[in-house]
Amino acid sequence: MQNHIKIFSGNANRPLAEKIAARVGVPLSVASIGRFPDGEIFVKYEETVRGRDVFIVQPTGLSPNEHLMELLIMVDAARRASAQRITAVMPFFAYARQDRKERSRVPISAKLVANLLVAAGVDRVLTVDLHSHQIQGFFDIPVDHLYAAPLMVCYLRRKLPAENRVVVAPDPGGLKMAYSYSQLLNAGLALAGKHRKSATEVEALELVGDVAGKDCILTDDITTTAGTLCAAANLALEHGAKSVRAAVSHCLLTDMGIQRLKESRLEELITTDSLLLKDWNGFPVTVLSVADMLGDAIKRIHGDEPVSSLFEIYQGRTQ
């Protein structure tokens, strides 16, 4: 395996790439990524990729345009250097929230990103918790979609007493994810209704479900300004919740979001290392690593084994 598989990292999250390579049991391969004086990106692989199975680890959050362009150029360089297969390992897939036309004269940017990846030469995509499952259908190549829920559930089982857990969907769009968590945790389920006043401000209107005296778990795939989470947390506490914490797969928190969390009544934020995380400025955060899960998926892809078996393995650990 060591001679045939190559794992490279862009600049988006090198620490995660190093953990993934360690899990696979190969050294992280070397690529030089620089800038020309005018800011254009330059990539050179410092070792051969001819005939190799190449995996490029590059989430595209936080600086999505920069990281996406860097990924596309890395893919193009690998393809022109005769890599046998190129897999884009994207723990976070940018532009996923723009997955449909909600009004006139707007793009479907998630589909555009899918087209760009395929045009650059990607043969396969490996990702975690897409904002919308339908994005898999935007590709004409295989997409392996993993879930952070088993990692979160293992942690929450140790953290909270079984008889007192309630999972709360912070908005109707998150109900399916919340239901999945409630099943894995054998917990109750509640739903918060919200009204978005602006891109950064949310008002929670009503809560459906019994949370009185319960330890509530808000679930979401992405948070940026934390408006939805904080509004739902306040609503749950107004309805008598004992405690509220949030389990979020990908944190793209702005400075506003971090400040909002600090001022909120949330006890804890649980997230993953899919993205390089900022200084939390004292707010209690638990970071769970997706490196082992992604590394195991890479080993199965390389060995032409089913990735679906991972779901059974990691879900079994939640029992």
Domains of the chain: 5-148+291-316 (3.40.50.2020), 149-288 (3.40.50.2020)
Mean pLDDT of 279-296: 91
Q: With the C-alpha atoms ordered 236, 241, 247, 252, is the resulting torsion angle positive or negative? A: positive
Outline where the chain has alpha helix (H): 14-24, 64-80, 109-120, 149-159, 175-185, 227-238, 255-263, 291-302, 309-316
Residues carrying an active site annotation: 194
Furthest C-alpha separation in the chain: 61
pLDDT at 196 over 70: no
Using a cut of 0.75, tell me whether the model's pTM lies above it: yes
Tens digit of each residue's pLDDT (9 = 90 or more) over 159-185:
999 999 999 999 888 899 999 999 999
Q: Is the pLDDT of residue 314 over 70?
A: no
Place of tokens 């001819």: 50
Q: Is the pLDDT of residue 197 over 70?
A: no
CB 123 within 8 A of CB 88: no
Whether 86 has a pLDDT exceeding 70, the answer reads yes
Average pLDDT, the chain: 92
Q: What is the pLDDT of residue 16?
A: 98
Per-residue pLDDT band at 262 (split at 50, 70, 90)? very high
Burial of 176 (0-12, 13-18, 19+ CB in 10 A): exposed
The residue assigned the tokens 């022109």 is: 80
Residue of 194, 181, 186, 86 whose CA lies nearest to 129: 181
- Confidence check: pLDDT of 2 > 80: no
Query: How would you write 181-195 as a 3-class SS string?
Result: HHHHHCCEEEEEEEE
pLDDT at 193 over 90: no
Is residue 266 a contact partner of residue 280, using CB atoms and an 8 Å limit?
Answer: no
Asked whether residue 120 carries a pLDDT value surpassing 90, the answer given is yes
pLDDT class for 25, splitting at 50, 70, 90?
Answer: very high
User: Can you tell me the mean pLDDT for 123-141?
Assistant: 94
- Report the pLDDT averaged over residues 235-262: 94
